[in-house]
A and B are shown apart, each in its own frame.
Chain A
């Protein structure tokens, strides 16, 4: 059977993978997190908190089912508020995972190989959280299957001309393709865990999931084709999903929503917040599990650069938004933008400008990018900023709409908080289960990064 367990705890270097690794050490280091290592106290603590929040979520949803949407702060004219804010925020976070796993694969960015697995898991769990909100917001969530076209005795069908129905198709396709892509990536690593597990129950479980994968060259050839094809399919898909999400707003004629630059603006914002979440997860994880040789400072640096670049696009969009509001000459557009900056939501607006436009400029400095602690704090700032952005777009436009007599300032209730924090609990709960049960770094893709994985052209002939 296997050689002795080889683990490197704290290697050095600023490359995408620390030197001195071998096929064996890479395998053992990542597999040991699942198979042998003791779960760190911090992970157990997070898991406990997450479970508590998840129970809060169950309570909030139970109450919602019993009493209806009135338990949230939804009052006319603000019939979209935290729910849709949270939906857009979570879907956006998911986008970084697909960007890393698909787009960076097509661009042959090898540094993605050690962060794609958990970033994809992040995508799936974020989309799961996102999917909760439109469904809970339906009013009668138990009839959610009415969203899909199926033969029914009521003689009615969804309205395919509505962006909300497009959203159902976009998000459910996105969730399905993300899960498939993630599972295909897992198959060879599940085979590794099957071959390495000592506990017979785990051996059987991983064996069933690995489906008899044996690393055959014939299989690898098809496998590589399949990965490339899936990446090629996921790339336009991920761009389409947030575009469709932005159509939920732009197709409506609400002032502050009805503009053509929303799709690219939303996609950039999505990747911005997604990379913030990647950093917020990667920085503590690599310390807790001693994976600094695989998720190196170089990865954090690259992720911070992507975050800054997309942050600057988002900043540009804010400027364009204000400019377009003024340049349109439309009094309602102008009023909507002015109201955002100086109205009842001015505090939130200026906080989001600070978080999303001012803060990312610190990432120009290498000192900031090379300090994990600062990056961690920065990623939380960005996540907060992006949540507020969606909140301000949605609520400021609705609460002060075209008819001043119906204006009302939105006030959140404790159940808004409970539902929102509850999905954070759901997300962390699923994520902690994932890092405990599945390899959080793609083992076989990291093996290909090692210098010894290269075939010597002369020798092999």
Chain B
């Protein structure tokens, strides 16, 4: 079943109105909803229960993998693959490995942070229905949007529209697929 529209979108003037609306929608029982803002809003993440994400764990794993690989690379080269005996000093000279191990940890962790960010956000995403709303271009300037998606079990076109109208937005518009 493909619902005829993606959802309904309400436009607000300021962050306070949007956070209020998002809280009201959550209370009403809507779960498939998203807000669109020109800058990050701490309270909005609270209202939509978005504070937990997997990125820190991924970055930790990335860092550990990078550091391990960096150390193993140096160990392999200096001890196994190309050992050079310098005045009988130990081949496994771990103090001189520290810096490259550290740099590789940072490099892998940073790469994981960036690609993890893109992955968790599903970017790049060439097409998204919200861009069908002409005024949505203002979401990157000075307007704040709340969208209730039609896949939400409670979604009922006329009632949801009436609910959004009751939040006193500037405008409520349909988001076509």
A residues with CB within 8 A of B: 1-2, 22-24, 27, 149, 155-161, 165-166, 169-170, 173, 176-177, 180-181, 183-184, 188, 191-192, 194-196, 211-226, 229-230, 233-234, 236-237, 240, 244, 247, 444-445, 447-448, 452-457, 459-461
A180, closest chain B residue (CB): B114
The number of residues on chain B lying at the interface, defined by a beta carbon within 8 Å of a beta carbon of chain A, is 72
With A225-B56, A229-B113, A230-B113 as known contacts, state yes or no: A220 contacts B41, CB within 8 Å. Answer: yes
A161-B96 in contact given A215-B139, A217-B37, A453-B39 (Cβ < 8 Å): yes
Most B CB within 10 A of own CB, among A155, A169, A454: A169
Say if the beta carbon of B65 comes within 8 Å of chain A. Answer: no
Chain B residues with Cβ under 8 A from A194's Cβ?
140
Task: State A184–B115 Cα separation when bound (angstroms).
Answer: 10
Q: Decide if A169 touches B103 in the complex (CB within 8 Å).
A: yes
**Complex: how many Å from CA A134 to CA B78?**
24
User: If the complex has contacts A157-B77, A211-B124, are A217 and B34 also in contact, measured as CB distance less than 8 A?
Assistant: yes
**What mask results when residues 94 to 111 of chain B are scored 1 for a CB within 8 Å of chain A, else 0?**
001101101110110111
- Are A216 and B102 within 8 A (Cβ)? no
User: Which residue of chain B has the shortest Cβ distance to A187 in the bound complex?
Assistant: B123
- Whether a CB of chain A sits under 8 angstroms from the CB of B14 is yes
Identify the interface centre among B36, B44, B100, B131: most chain A CB within 10 Å of its CB. Answer: B100
Interface of chain A: mostly helix, strand, loop or mixed? helix
Query: Cβ of B59 < 8 Å from any Cβ of A?
Result: yes
Closest Cβ neighbor of B84 among chain A residues: A159
17 contacts between A and B (CB under 8 A): A156-B82, A158-B77, A160-B100, A192-B140, A211-B118, A211-B124, A214-B131, A217-B45, A220-B39, A220-B41, A221-B45, A223-B40, A233-B113, A444-B39, A447-B38, A448-B40, A460-B23
Cβ of B82: which chain A residues have Cβ within 8 Å of it?
155-157
Contacting pair A236 B106 (CB below 8 A)? yes
Smallest Cβ-Cβ distance to B43: which chain A residue: A455
Given A169-B99, A215-B139, does the pair A176, B41 have CB atoms closer than 8 Å?
no
Could you tell me if A2 and B141 are in contact, using CB atoms closer than 8 angstroms?
yes
Given A225-B53, A455-B19, CB of A173 within 8 Å of CB of B103: yes
A173, A215, A236, A237: which contacts B140 (Cβ < 8 A)? A215
Q: For residue B19, give the distance in angstroms from its CB to the closest CB of chain A.
A: 4
State whether the Cβ of B51 lies closer than 8 Å to any Cβ in chain A: yes
- Which residues of chain A are within 8 angstroms of B81 by Cβ–Cβ distance? 157
Q: A23-B141, A217-B41 are in contact. Are A455 and B15 (CB under 8 A)?
A: yes
Q: Does B73 contact A (CB under 8 A)?
A: yes
Q: Is the CB of B140 within 8 A of A191?
A: yes
Number of residue pairs A-B, CB distance < 8 angstroms: 208
Knowing A149-B77, A192-B141, A230-B113, the reply to whether A445 touches B53 (Cβ < 8 A) is no
Contacts of A453 in B (CB 8 A): 15, 39, 41
Residues of chain B contacted by A177 (CB below 8 angstroms): 106-107, 110
Q: Known contacts A23-B142, A177-B107, A212-B123; decide if A230 and B114 are in contact (CB<8 Å).
A: yes
Find out whether the CB atom of B121 lies under 8 angstroms from the CB atom of A455: no
Q: CB of B55 within 8 A of chain A? A: yes
A456 nearest CB neighbor, chain B only: B16
Bound form: Cα–Cα A42–B67 in Å:
47
- Determine how close the nearest CB of chain B comes to the CB of A11; give it in whole angstroms: 18
User: How many Å from the CB of A105 to the closest CB on chain B?
Assistant: 13
A50–B84 alpha-carbon span in the complex (Å): 47
Does chain A have a CB within 8 A of B162? no
Quick check: A161 and B78 within 8 Å, CB to CB? yes
Check B37 against A244 for contact (C-beta < 8 Å).
no
Among B73, B96, B99, B137, chain A packs the most CB atoms within 10 A around the CB of B99
Tell me whether A173 and B106 are in contact (CB under 8 A): yes
- B129–chain A nearest beta-carbon distance, Å: 10
Q: Report whether A195 and B137 are in contact in the complex, using a CB–CB cutoff of 8 Å.
A: yes
Chain A residues lying within 8 Å of B48, measured Cβ to Cβ, are 217-218
A233 neighbours in B (Cβ, 8 Å): 59, 63, 106, 109-110, 113
Known contacts A444-B38, A447-B39, A455-B41; A217/B126 CB under 8 A: no
- Whether the pair A27, B37 counts as a contact (CB closer than 8 A) is no
Cα separation A154 to B137 with both chains bound (whole Å): 57
B107 and A173 contacting across the interface, CB-CB below 8 Å: yes
Do A169 and B124 touch (CB < 8 A)?
no
In this complex, which of A181, A188, A448, A460 has the most chain B Cβ atoms within 10 angstroms of its Cβ? Answer: A460
State whether A212 touches B117 (Cβ < 8 A): no
A171 vs B74: C-alpha distance in the bound complex, in angstroms?
18
* A196–B84 alpha-carbon span in the complex (Å): 61
Q: Mark B11-35, 1 if CB is under 8 A from A, else 0.
A: 0001110011011000000000011
Contacts of A221 in B (CB 8 A): 40, 45, 50-51, 53
Docked complex Cα distance between A215 and B142 (Å): 11
Q: Is the beta-carbon distance between B37 and A220 smaller than 8 angstroms?
A: yes
A243 to B15 CA separation, bound complex (whole angstroms): 44
In the complex, what residues of B have CB within 8 A of residue A217's CB? 22, 34-37, 41, 44-45, 48, 50
The residues of B that contact A236 with a CB separation of less than 8 Å are 102, 106
| B177 CB → nearest A CB, Å | 16
